[in-house]
Amino acid sequence: MVFVYNRINLEQLSRVLDLPLENLIKSISAVPISKKEEVADFQLSVDSLLDNNSDRLRTDTQVQAKRLAEKLRCDMVVSEIRAGQGTVNFKINRELLTKTVLQQVIEDGSKYGLKSELFSGVPKQKVVVEFSSPNVAKKFHVGHLRSTIIGNFIANLKEALGHEVTRINYLGDWGMQFGLLGTGFQLFGYEEKLQSNPLQHLFEVYVQVNKEAADDKTVAKSAREFFHRLETGNMQALSLWQKFRDLSIEEYIRIYKRLGIYFDEYSGESFYREKSQEVLKLLDSKGLLLKTIKGTAVVDLSGNDDPSSICTVMRSDGTSLYTTRDIAAAIDRMDKYNFDAMIYVTDKGQKKHFQQVFQILKTMGYDWAERCHHVPFGVVQGMKTRRGEVTFLEDVLNEIQLRMLQNMASIKTTKELENPQETAEKVGLAALIIQDFKGLLLSDYQFSWDRVFQSRGDTGVFLQYTHARLHSLEETFGCGYLNDFNMACLQEPQSVSILQHLLRFDEVLYRSSLDLQPKHIVSYLLTLSHLAAVAHRTLQIKHSPPEVSGARLHLFKAVRSVLANGMKLLGITPVCRM
């Protein structure tokens, strides 16, 4: 973290290199810790200082690094300067390093790492994040889990960085599936089943009517007619649709509460059934709407009849499509929120859909379409419960809680808990989120219950266990030792490695803020937990002199604070006992 490498040293570098101060901040980084050798605290990348058009430092970067190191002088802050592989490495006075890092962690609290100079030039923005978006009248499918936790992470990160974030759940509450469901309910539905177990019954009706529609053209025709009545405002059809929607949202809210996730706005495709007609009129007035022989309306994004660039925006009966409603929603949100960025979090299968939506908006004259971004993610494979292939998210949550309770019951170190079910669910969700976030979001991955619940290794269970153990240390020794603190007592390699790693937190947050990938934070927190585990085994508190115990307790408290901050950004609620 550059704040340790203070202004005096940056000014010295600025003079020697004849470069502006702001150019240096992002060229200096904390050195990743190494198990094999003691490393420097900071390094200056010579390569990053080279302008592509500059001939000033065109010679070998190793030579340049050596020359630069010879020109720089140690002082009260920097105790050692050495040339590395294309870098200049700096070692900070150990007592100053300890004091500055621990003081900064405690003072900044939940804002540690977020006040870094790395973020100083980042303008505060209005950001809209659309995520989760389940289909109304269907049970919350497990396929929506990734959108839900990824979108929550992005919203958390943007909010932590000081942006004004609006979280939108854009429900799939309109479209031909409601034509099928309305028809299906009239054929196979039972009011008493709807009241006793609404989503299960609606799901069963939906499956049954789809089978019937595939075999019987009259059922498919009835479904189209029912949806047309919805689009034209038939009160009887709308009343049934509204009942399905209300029952579904009640169920979703209950599940989001279990996940610890909230939304600022519950929107949906139904909000734009009228505005989508305005979109069609606008497209027509701009000469962009083309009628086909079948009676549908399309937009040719290529301008030369390329079939792969034809986007259908209206059915032959005049009803709207998903694309049309998404265009209407984007225009409405710009009017409402005047956003600087809008992020859609959906699976990679919708990549082309969003490319077409953004391109149509731009063709319509909305330059702000460039502020719209799609964050795609891969598919989770092999997610099964003990009863077989899993379909619904609630089955996964129940399975998580059950398996975690069994795991906790089998471990001798498990504490007596006030609410073991709640703790089991929080630990289980951490396990699920960490497995999901360890790789690139775009990658597909194979789900494994065995890997998810390992208490050792790189898992969410291990993160929760580390946090709970460090919290227990504070409870046991906090009152007696926290006031007695000598900086010079934290010179052991285990302490220094932790301090060096804490230095890097702002760089990790900055990297995630650029590419919106949680894996950087996950990797950082797992390394921090492993370092804490080693230190916990070797740096005793109970039988050490008070000033040594106090220093070590401060160190562990700082680790727990940063660990909790990172976990919360990922959407994990840290537990204090387990």
118: left (phi over 0), alpha (psi -120 to 50) or beta: alpha
**Using one digit for the tens of pLDDT, what is the confidence trace for 366-424?**
999 999 999 999 988 877 655 555 567 888 888 888 888 888 887 766 667 788 889 99
Classified as helix, coil or strand, 317 is: coil
Report the pLDDT value the prediction gives residue 53, as an integer from 0 to 100: 38
* Residue 551: alpha-carbon gap to chain centroid: 34
CA distance 89 to 81: 6
Report the pLDDT value the prediction gives residue 7, as an integer from 0 to 100: 47
CA distance 418 to 217: 58
Q: Give yes or no: 348 in active site.
A: no
Contacts of 446 (CB under 8 A, 6+ apart): 381, 382
Which is the catalytic residue, given 99, 126, 141, 568?
141
Indicate the pairing of strand 87-92 with strand 126-130. unpaired
Count Cβ atoms within 10 A of the Cβ of residue 516 and give its class: 0-12 exposed, 13-18 middle, 19 or more buried. middle
Report the pLDDT value the prediction gives residue 59, as an integer from 0 to 100: 57
CA distance 496 to 487: 12
Q: Give yes or no: 471 in active site.
A: no
User: Each residue of 6-25: b (16+ CB within 10 Å) or e?
Assistant: beebbeebbeebeeeeeebb
The torsion angles phi and psi of 265, rounded to 5 degrees, stand at -150, 130
Which residue has 């669910």 as its token pair?
A: 425
Which residue has 């497990």 as its token pair?
A: 142
Structure tokens at 272: 């734009």
* Residue 18: alpha-carbon gap to chain centroid: 40
CA distance 410 to 415: 12
Which residue has 């960085």 as its token pair?
A: 161
Amino acid (one-letter) located at 409 = A
Structure tokens at 430: 């951490």
Structure tokens at 395: 């089955």
Strand partners, 135: 172
Which is the catalytic residue, given 144, 158, 467, 471?
144
The torsion angles phi and psi of 417, rounded to 5 degrees, stand at -115, 145
Strand partners, 88: 44, 83
Q: Give yes or no: 138 in active site.
A: yes
CB 308 within 8 A of CB 320: no
DSSP one-letter code for 320: B
Q: Between 145-160 and 235-259, two packed helices, what is the crossing angle to 10 degrees?
A: 70
The side-by-side arrangement of strands in the sheet containing 290-291 is 290-291, 297-300, 310-314
Which residue has 């290529």 as its token pair?
A: 302
Which is the catalytic residue, given 91, 138, 438, 467?
138
Report the pLDDT value the prediction gives residue 391, as an integer from 0 to 100: 66
The torsion angles phi and psi of 49, rounded to 5 degrees, stand at -90, -15
CB 363 within 8 A of CB 288: yes
DSSP for 173-219, written as a single string = --SHHHHHHHHHHHHH--HHHHHHSHHHHHHHHHHHHHHHHHH-HHH
Which parts of the chain sit beneath pLDDT 50? 2, 7-8, 52-53, 55-58
Report the pLDDT value the prediction gives residue 309, as an integer from 0 to 100: 87
Using alpha carbons only, give the angle 454, 456, 457 rounded to the nearest 5 degrees.
95
Amino acid (one-letter) located at 516 = L
CB 131 within 8 A of CB 374: no
All domains of the chain in start order, with CATH: 1-92 (3.30.1360.70), 126-271+322-381 (3.40.50.620), 391-570 (1.10.730.10)
Structure tokens at 539: 């740096």
pTM score, whole prediction: 0.91
DSSP one-letter code for 454: -
Contacts of 142 (CB under 8 A, 6+ apart): 380, 383, 390, 391, 392, 393, 395, 396
CA distance 177 to 183: 10
Indicate the pairing of strand 372-377 with strand 341-347. parallel
